[in-house]
Amino acid sequence: MLEGLMAEIGRIVILTGAGISAESGIDTFRSAGGLWEQHRVEDVATPEGFARNPNLVLNFYDMRRAALANVAPNPAHSALARLEREFSGELLLVTQNVDDLHERGGSARVLHMHGELKSALCTACEMRSPWHTTMIDRPPCPVCRAPTLRPDVVWFGEMPYEMGRIYRALETCDLFVSIGTSGAVYPAAGFVQEARANGARTLELNLEPSEGSRCFHETRHGPASVLVPQWVEEVLDA
Ligand code: BJW
């Protein structure tokens, strides 16, 4: 479907989800044995869960932040970094992931719409600060010194980051590509319809059909570590 069309592609928006980091050893959210198997979503990914039991939530995110040291980017992350370097058009890489594997894979411009494990949000002064250690011990905010840090991630019921910039890019892109996401969580799940309504071609790369597969012009099924490098090669060869 994309053959012959790629030459006309000047603006690409890419959305990634947990599936792109699965082969690096980070559990996806909805897989058997995934994160939500050990913890209820309501307990660890809502503001209400944090208010009820902050220690449980801070510990959960401290452990996930520490676990980043034991994983590495895979060929899918590296391929998207190559695309950023070599594609002559405009590229916006939006990830729902809170890990740092895109950056470690070589991508310099990544928009983390659900926040980042390596960032802290102060509930007192609302400033975001780079964060690499633990929060369970209630360290002071680097900006206002209050002991009121929380993980800088977007929980259910909260507004994802950079929505204005993302919707503006979806209005003008020629191609929207969704990689390794189940299409179960909004607003990201609605990006494909937004892009299509504005005239973009749409492509899904996922291990298996997702909840939103039928919304895409084209879907390819298989592991991201294989599909993404193949697709990047096609784009750069066009
Ligand atoms: C592979 C692979 C391999 C595996 N290769 N692929 C009713 C209807 C509609 C909406 C709502 C509703 N009720 C409430 C809402 C809104 C709510 C929502 O969507 N709820 C749903 C449950 C229905 N959304 C929100 O509250 C959001 N905020 C919001 O809507 O604000 C208002 C607003 C209004 C208007 C405009 C904008 C905003 C906030 C959502 C925050 C989500 N947060 C989390 C946690 C982040 C922190 C953390 O990590 O702990 O984000 S939840 C979790 O899900 C995480 C993920 O980013 C997100 C998406 O998951 P993802 O990435 O898709 O992972 P999986 O596991 O679901 O799928 C993995 C896929 O990979 C699978 O398909 C596999 O097949 C595939 N795969 N191996 C390729 N090797």
* Confidence at residue 32, expressed as pLDDT on a 0 to 100 scale: 63
Give the span between the Cα atoms of 129 and 162, in whole angstroms. Answer: 17
Out of 1.10.3080.10, 1.10.940.10, 3.40.50.1220, 3.40.1440.10, the CATH code matching 3-25+73-114+156-237 is: 3.40.50.1220
**b vs e for 108-128, b when ≥16 Cβ sit within 10 Å of the residue's Cβ?**
eebbbbbbbbbbbbbeeeeee
Ligand 1 centroid–CA 189 distance in Å is: 7
Give the span between the Cα atoms of 161 and 150, in whole angstroms. Answer: 16
Give the span between the Cα atoms of 74 and 229, in whole angstroms. Answer: 10
Q: Cβ–Cβ contacts within 10 Å for residue 8, how many?
A: 10
Domain extent listing, the chain: 3-25+73-114+156-237
Ligand 1 centroid–CA 29 distance in Å is: 8
Residue minimizing CA distance to atom 56 of ligand 1: 96
In the residue annotation, 114 being an active-site residue is answered as yes
* Confidence at residue 5, expressed as pLDDT on a 0 to 100 scale: 61
* Confidence at residue 68, expressed as pLDDT on a 0 to 100 scale: 98
Annotated catalytic residue: which of 102, 112, 114, 221? Answer: 114
Residue minimizing CA distance to atom 73 of ligand 1: 182
pLDDT along the chain (238 residues), means of 10: 66 98 93 72 94 97 97 98 97 98 98 98 98 98 98 98 98 98 97 98 97 96 98 95
Question: pTM for the full model?
Answer: 0.96
* Confidence at residue 33, expressed as pLDDT on a 0 to 100 scale: 64
For residue range 70-93, what is the model confidence (pLDDT) as tens digits? 999 999 999 999 999 999 999 999
* Chain centroid, CA 144 distance in Å: 29
* Confidence at residue 238, expressed as pLDDT on a 0 to 100 scale: 86
The ligand 1 atom nearest the CA atom of 156: 26
In this structure, the strands spanning 201-206 and 218-221 are parallel
Give the span between the Cα atoms of 226 and 230, in whole angstroms. Answer: 6
The ligand 1 atom nearest the CA atom of 30: 66
Ligand 1 pocket check: which of 57, 156, 210 to mutate, most ligand atoms within 8 Å of Cβ? Answer: 156
Ligand 1 centroid–CA 155 distance in Å is: 10
* Confidence at residue 179, expressed as pLDDT on a 0 to 100 scale: 98
Ligand 1 centroid–CA 237 distance in Å is: 33
Q: Give the binding-site residues of ligand 1, using a 6 Å CB cut-off.
A: 17-19, 22-23, 28-30, 45, 96, 98, 114, 153-160, 163, 180-182, 184-187, 206-208, 210, 223-224
The ligand 1 atom nearest the CA atom of 97: 57
* Confidence at residue 38, expressed as pLDDT on a 0 to 100 scale: 82
Give, in degrees to the nearest 5, the angle at Cα 42 between 38 and 44: 60
* Confidence at residue 31, expressed as pLDDT on a 0 to 100 scale: 78
